[in-house]
Structure 1
Amino acid sequence: MIPIMESEDYLKKMLSTRRPGRKDVLAFYEHRLGGICQDPNLMLLPLDDHIVHRGDGVFETMKYLGRKIYQLDAHINRMKRSAKAIHLDPPCTWERLKEIIIKVAKAGEEDNGLVRVLLGRGPGGFGIAPDECPMASLYVVAYKFTPKPQHWYDKGATAFRTSIPAKQDWIAQIKSVNYLPNVLMKREAMEKGFDYPICFDEHDFLAEGATENMCIVDRDGTIVVPEFSNALPGTTLLRALELLAPERKSFFRKISEGQLASAREILVFGTTGDCLPIVRYEGKPIHDARPGPVCQRARELILKDMEENGLPF
């Protein structure tokens, strides 16, 4: 028999229920309440928020190290583009959102961490029409950051071709909360024992990883980046190209699987890992199966940039 509980009993039971991952939550904010909380048991979303049952929303994740948030403006600008693409306005100004992000990170009381920003259509019903929701929802969470072990950079990682196809071009440009293809890619990688999945578009050209951008260094030492037709433009990748520009040429073009396999280096760019080397693809070595100089230099420049240009709080 399923009991019908009184509000007080329901709330008491909810707050005493174990939540996986609660130990990593540092602080969070919800726009409806207008405040920051540090109790993970109270980090709850309304079930009728369309971000939950329709995937109608966008998100960003940014890193902070040494109490400095990296590329805050770049992440906000990309969220603006994603929100505009789905006709969604935040419940506050974009400048106010930046203030909230900084305050949530500070309330987390840790030197290093990640901030997840979720902007949704808002609560209002279980249909699909956006006009059910009178106001957009905004959730900001600071949580612990666990960096990649050093051996990932010293020895390199492995990758394979996933069976999950690249997203259609129009949706790939939006950092939507609907990450089901990305989840399935990661699941397949774990099942097959590879570190990173790589997906390809309908014409068999390189697109992206589950949550990362991929690019190559060709035999001439030039950085070749796949066109962003079926991939999300990554903030880390774009900043790395800027930092490397005085030292290394780069250009965008379509990359076939054969060119990927014969590259001198395969680079993986993402918020959490900065720049990582792929040394084996489909079980076969990339060049000499060791991390290359471009990857090492890219990460060196990114870490230096974080220290010099991260936003302190």
Structure 2
Amino acid sequence: MYSSVFGGITTDQSAMVIPMDDHMVHRGHGVFDTAAIVDGCLYELEQHLDRFLGSAKQAKINPPFDKQTIKTILVQTVSASSCRNGSLRYWLSSGPGDFQLSPTGCHQSTLYAIVIQDQSPPNYSGIKVITSSIPIKPPQFAIMKSVNYLPNVLSKMEAEENGAYAAIWLDQQGFVAEGPSMNVAFVTHENELLMPRFEKILSGCTAKRVLELAGNLVKEEKVRGIKVRDVTVEEGKRAQEMMLIGSGVLVRPVLQWDNQVIGKGKAGVVTVSLRKLILEDMKSGPSTIRTAVPYV
């Protein structure tokens, strides 16, 4: 773990602490992001950092360091951990200082980072989702990756209580939005890859990379085209394929939404092909996507 409060990296789990008077703890005034560690490389670190700093700006948190310094700290933290497969999660907070609502009493914003070792093999089996009854966050908050995840938690819990993996949010107009920690995509009966607009939901780094890689499937004529637009629930439920996309699930097939079986009720060709493309990209993609960690 790295903490700017202590000014360094520790591998002692008992020292991996955050002050209780940090406003991220008691007021939720903080943002975060996550980058996968794959075979000793950080996947899409630059892209995640750009979103991270964008979220901080929206949350009115001035980082204690510039982007390059933050990147160096994050890479050094992974190096010190010796972890070659897992994830790196990092936070920017308005910082410790007092227990008031306003951060004016905070002395300095803080940066934290922690490395999480992979503990279990990936699961790409088909899943069930439901429509969430928990209201989606307003666009101003949905598009930033803040630590205010209570709606996400309640949405996930609702899904689990109903024997599902995740609950799908609809936006204020009733269009398909996103899952609690992942984006959603479809393959229409016209064989087009379809994804909801990002204007009102979190701009998923993995989802955007999947859209780029999907160009290969167009060339191979596995899909006719790629579209990002509003998607109705009816259109989504009658799609021939549905999938969840995110750093935690990569590309995972959805076989049932509420009481509606999706397509043939099994993982589709496009879903499987996209997962293979993202896995290959994570292991052998270009240097713009993969940041090598200089382990000691």
Q: With structure 2 as the length reference, what TM-score do the two structures score?
A: 0.92
Matched, 1:232 2:205: no
Shift of 1:146: 3.8
Q: Which amino acid aligns with 1:254?
A: D
Corresponding residue of 2:110 = 137
Deviation at 1:283, TM superposition (A): 3.4
Once superposed, what is the RMSD of the aligned Cα atoms?
A: 1.3
Equivalent in 154, 162, 166 of residue 196 of structure 1? 166
Q: 1:67 to 1:35 in 2, by over 3 A?
A: same
Q: Structure 1 vs Structure 2: percent identity of aligned residues?
A: 34
Alignment of 1:220-299 (within 5 A): 220-248=190-218, 249-299=225-275
Deviates more, 1:125-134 or 1:284-293: 125-134
- Aligned match of 1:12: none
Aligned length: 283
Give per-residue Cα distances to partners, 1:182-218, cap 9 Å, x unaligned.
0001111111110111111122111110100011111
Alignment gaps of 5+ in structure 1: 1-27
Q: 2:2 aligns with which of 11, 23, 29?
A: 29
2:93 paired residue among 110, 115, 120: 120
Q: Which residue of the partner structure matches residue 186 of structure 1?
A: 156
**Of 33, 39, 45, the match for 1:60:** 33
Question: What are structure 2's unaligned runs of at least 5 residues?
Answer: 219-224
CA distance in structure 2 between the partners assigned to 1:277 and 1:146 by the alignment: 22
- For residues 55-90 of structure 1, the C-alpha deviation after alignment (integer angstroms, 9 at most, x for no partner) is 101000111111111000000000111111122121
Deviation, structure 1 residue 147: 5.2
Report what 2:292 is aligned to. Answer: 312
Larger relative helix fraction? 1
Identify the match of residue 81 of structure 1 among 42, 45, 54.
54
Q: How far is 1:256 from its partner?
A: 1.2
Q: How does 1:34-113 map to 2 (within 5 A)?
A: 34-113=7-86
Residue type matched to 2:75 in 1? I
Aligned partners of 2:94, 2:42: CA distance in 1, in Å? Answer: 26
Structure 1 counterpart of 2:14, one-letter code = N
In structure 2, distance between residues paired with 1:202 and 1:273: 26
For residues 44 and 258 of structure 1, the distance between their equivalents in structure 2, rounded to whole angstroms, comes to: 47
* Partner SS for 2:17: coil
Q: Secondary structure at the match of 2:177?
A: strand
Matching of residue 159 in structure 1 with residue 129 in structure 2:
yes
- Runs of 4+ in structure 1 deviating by more than 3 angstroms, as ranges, are 146-150
| Structure with greater Cα Rg | 1
How far 1:181 sits from its partner (Å)?
Answer: 0.4
